[in-house]
């Protein structure tokens, strides 16, 4: 029994060391691949099934794109420490009614999930997501979290990150996206494999208009103040 306990203790300690090590590493180094990219690769049965993913600095992603995802996904991104308690409570009450499952995840939580974990709704995954969210909020700046998020999330069929999405949907670099184009990409994030940023359906068009309106209300985005 002592050997088993020692093994479990060592496994736990090394898990902590490795997880913190990867978070520190990705504070400085671009994330080359995520678990979701690998999963989608093996799910795809088409002959040409390699994902499109072009990492770029946040300085090469337009402020419109940065602001669009914040207004669409997490308007309290600069105020919270990784978790929006009010949004989580609202999602819980909504889901108790038996309606379509609604999430309350912040950009930080989505980043933690996409970079370090797998897509699943289990309590284990959620617990690990909480752990990694705490780590990146502690070790990374808000600017770094948003940079990794914008370079890692799924933004179309086998399309990952703002640069690949901008090229795919609008045939231009992410640095040149205007407000409506950025809002178009942000509007499909709830289901990027189903929705199209361009040409937009009437539903996506309405979401775009709402996001652009929120962007105007939000005002100037300054990520540096949270470093």
**CA-to-CA separations, 1 to 5, 198, 206, in angstroms, rounded:** 6, 60, 61
Report percent pLDDT > 70 for the chain. Answer: 90
Segment 206-218, tens digit of pLDDT: 999 999 999 999 9
Q: Are strands 52-53 and 154-156 parallel, antiparallel or unpaired?
A: unpaired
The answer to whether residues 54 and 164 touch, using CB atoms and an 8 Å cutoff, is: yes
pLDDT of residue 100: 54
pLDDT of residue 5: 84
CATH code assigned at 128: 1.10.3810.10
Residue ranges with strand state E in 44-194: 52-53, 154-156, 159-160
What is the domain count for the chain? 1
pLDDT of residue 150: 98
The answer to whether residues 65 and 150 touch, using CB atoms and an 8 Å cutoff, is: yes
Q: In what order do the strands lie in the sheet with 159-160?
A: 52-53, 159-160, 154-156
User: Confidence class of residue 42 from pLDDT cuts 50, 70 and 90?
Assistant: confident
Report percent pLDDT > 90 for the chain. Answer: 72
Q: H/E/C letters for each residue in 128-144?
A: HHHHHHHHHHHHCCHHH
Which of 186, 212, 215, 185 has the alpha carbon at shortest distance from 198? Answer: 185
Least confident span in 1-10, 59-68, 114-123: 1-10
Segment 148-190, tens digit of pLDDT: 999 999 999 999 999 999 999 999 999 999 999 999 999 999 9
pLDDT of residue 227: 52
Q: Which domain holds residue 54?
A: 2-226
Rg (CA), the chain: 18
Average pLDDT, rounded, for the chain = 90
DSSP annotation of 200 reads: P
Give the residue, 121 or 166, on which the prediction is more confident.
166
> In this structure, what token pair is assigned to residue 190?
């709830």
């Amino acid at each position: 029994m002592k050997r088993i306990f020692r093994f479990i203790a060592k496994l736990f300690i090394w898990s902590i060391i490795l997880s913190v090590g990867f978070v520190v590493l990705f504070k400085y180094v671009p994330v080359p691949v995520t678990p979701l990219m690998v999963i989608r690769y093996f799910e795809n049965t088409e002959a040409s099934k390699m994902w499109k993913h072009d990492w770029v600095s946040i300085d090469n992603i337009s402020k419109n794109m940065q602001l669009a995802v914040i207004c669409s996904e997490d308007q309290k991104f600069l105020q919270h420490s990784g978790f929006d308690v009010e949004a989580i409570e609202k999602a819980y009450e909504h889901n108790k009614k038996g309606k379509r499952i609604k999430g309350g995840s912040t950009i930080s939580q989505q980043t933690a999930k996409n970079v370090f974990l797998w897509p699943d709704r289990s309590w284990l995954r959620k617990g690990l997501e909480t752990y990694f969210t705490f780590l990146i909020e502690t070790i990374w700046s808000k600017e770094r979290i948003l940079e990794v998020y914008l370079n890692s999330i799924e933004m179309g069929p086998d399309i990952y990150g703002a640069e690949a999405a901008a090229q795919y949907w609008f045939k231009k670099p992410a640095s040149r996206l205007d407000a409506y184009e950025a809002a178009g990409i942000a509007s499909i994030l709830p289901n990027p494999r189903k929705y199209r940023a361009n040409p937009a359906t009437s539903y996506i068009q309405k979401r775009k208009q709402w996001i652009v309106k929120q962007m105007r209300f939000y005002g100037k985005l300054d990520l540096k103040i949270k470093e």
